[in-house]
Amino acid sequence: MASAPQANRLPVLFNDLVPLNSKDHANFRSRTMDGAHFLKNQHAIPLTVEEFSQAQRHYPIIFSAGPDPVPLALMGMNEGVNVFLDDDGKYRKPAYVPAYIRRYPFMLAKLRPDADELSLCFDPTCEALGEFEEGDALFDGDQPSEVTKHILQFCEDFERAVQGTAFFMEELKRLDLLMDGELKIEHPTLSQPFVYQGFQMVSEEKLRELRGDELRKLNQNGALPLIYAHLFSLQVMRDLFAQQAADGKVPNLPQQTAAIN
């Protein structure tokens, strides 16, 4: 099942959020992490529409269930399973890394519910940030360092991409193009197909039935190529399942016959 970030809890990947400031974090540095351990148990990561063209080659792009769906890059077929990483938290092979992952452990957030401005915050549990001897300084005196300025710019660009993604999702809902998704995958060791549910996808039937003016509008505003990127990416789900089966991480799959040659 695909899970979306919940409004009443911290966003995916984040365990806590603290505003970055020169008083409390004057000596903080950012160092390179040896692997993405924070990602090992994440099977679905939020995706922006700007990334669809690159992400579709590596991940199934689906939409979360519920009234406010968001695009997700699927990294595993089940909760807690990520087939893209090895035991050390490193990518098994080259693949596009979603911006949501590259942004971590930083994000822009409101310090108060009634605040208008967003502040640069970070996850203090991340091992990449702290008062280390190595790494890039986050502050130059009481001013943000060049590294921090680049981080802030990346987070601002990401927020703009999120707004564009929200517009795309509103278009899909306005045209009633989404439907509950279901994918059946055959496996030689299973008496019945593996059924994946709990997500949404674009209905090809509804897409074909759109009026010409609506279809033209989707093409003009750039939504139509995004829809087809999503639909084409669903073929990758079978590759995802095959890798998960080879790893012996498919529920109810006999352990002795899990490997696929």
Residue 257 has pLDDT above 50, yes or no: no
Global pTM value: 0.89
pLDDT in tens, 96-146: 999 999 999 999 998 877 778 899 999 999 999 999 999 999 999 999 999
Is 25 a member of any domain?
no
Is 16 a member of any domain?
no
| pLDDT given at position 97 | 95
Domain that holds residue 209: 41-109+151-247
Cα separation, 78 vs 76, in Å, equals 6
Is 218 a member of any domain?
yes
Cα separation, 69 vs 35, in Å, equals 30
pLDDT band at 8 (very low <50, low <70, confident <90, very high): very low
* 154-169 b/e (C-beta count within 10 Å ≥ 16 → b): ebeebeebbeebeebb
Is 136 a member of any domain?
no
Is 102 a member of any domain?
yes
Is 253 a member of any domain?
no
Domain count, the chain: 1
Cα separation, 207 vs 104, in Å, equals 35
Task: Tell me which residue has tokens 């549910």.
Answer: 197
Nearest in space to 128 (alpha carbons), one of 54, 6, 31: 31
Amino acid symbol at 45: I
Is 125 a member of any domain?
no
Alpha carbon of 221 to those of 29, 163, 201, 249: distances in Å? 42, 14, 20, 41
* 251 class by beta-carbon count within 10 Å (0-12 exposed, 13-18 middle, 19+ buried): exposed
Is 255 a member of any domain?
no
Which residues are within 8 A (CB) of 159 and not within 5 positions of it... i.e. 6 or more apart?
A: 108, 118
pLDDT in tens, 148-193: 999 999 999 999 999 999 999 999 999 999 999 998 888 776 677 8
CA angle 69, 155, 84 (to 5 degrees): 60
